[in-house]
């Protein structure tokens, strides 16, 4: 167990169930920040949150797919209801599935597509701004 004391802040880490998102959530949690992990797969998100809780971190999970507009509204509603605010937003969610990118580079070139999709997704993320 960690000796973290809640500091009253809340963070939403999209793509928080693994990799950099999970590590970011872990480090925020060690600072006493309540972390909410956004994950496309709610079961994986809850498993990751449980792992953090086992480490003494206050963690929750929220089903969140950056490609689904309704998930953005659901996230807004969740933070508004549960916390009345959002202190930290870590926009870590990927917009391409790993299976869409070829290891040899022979698959689709994600750069132009990513720029277009990322701008669109970021504009939806801004819908959380009133809570920040």
Residue 74 within a domain = yes
Percent of the chain with pLDDT strictly greater than 70 = 67
Residue 103 within a domain = yes
| pLDDT tens figures, 3-43 | 556 678 999 999 999 999 999 999 999 999 999 999 999 99
Residue 88 within a domain = yes
Residue 30 within a domain = yes
Domain extent at residue 86: 10-131
CATH code at position 15: 3.40.50.720
> How many structural domains is the chain composed of?
1
Please report which confidence band the pLDDT of residue 1 belongs to, taking 50, 70 and 90 as the band edges: very low
Residue 2 within a domain = no
Q: What is the CA radius of gyration of the chain?
A: 15
The residues facing 11 across adjacent strands are: 35, 88
Question: CA of 34: how far to CAs of 4, 17, 28, 87, 110, in Å?
Answer: 10, 15, 8, 10, 33
Q: Is the pLDDT of residue 126 over 80?
A: no
């Amino acid at each position: 167990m960690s000796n973290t004391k809640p500091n009253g802040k809340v963070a939403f880490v999209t793509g928080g169930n693994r990799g950099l998102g999970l590590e970011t959530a872990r480090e925020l949690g060690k600072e006493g920040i309540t972390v909410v992990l956004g994950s496309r797969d709610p079961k994986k998100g809850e498993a990751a949150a449980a792992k953090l809780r086992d480490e003494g971190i206050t963690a929750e999970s929220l089903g969140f797919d950056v490609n689904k507009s309704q998930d953005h509204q659901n996230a807004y509603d969740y933070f508004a209801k549960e916390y009345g605010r959002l202190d930290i937003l870590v926009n870590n969610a990927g917009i391409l599935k790993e299976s869409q990118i070829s290891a040899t580079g022979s698959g689709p070139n994600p750069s132009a597509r990513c720029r277009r999709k990322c701008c669109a997704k970021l504009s939806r993320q801004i819908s959380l701004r009133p809570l920040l």
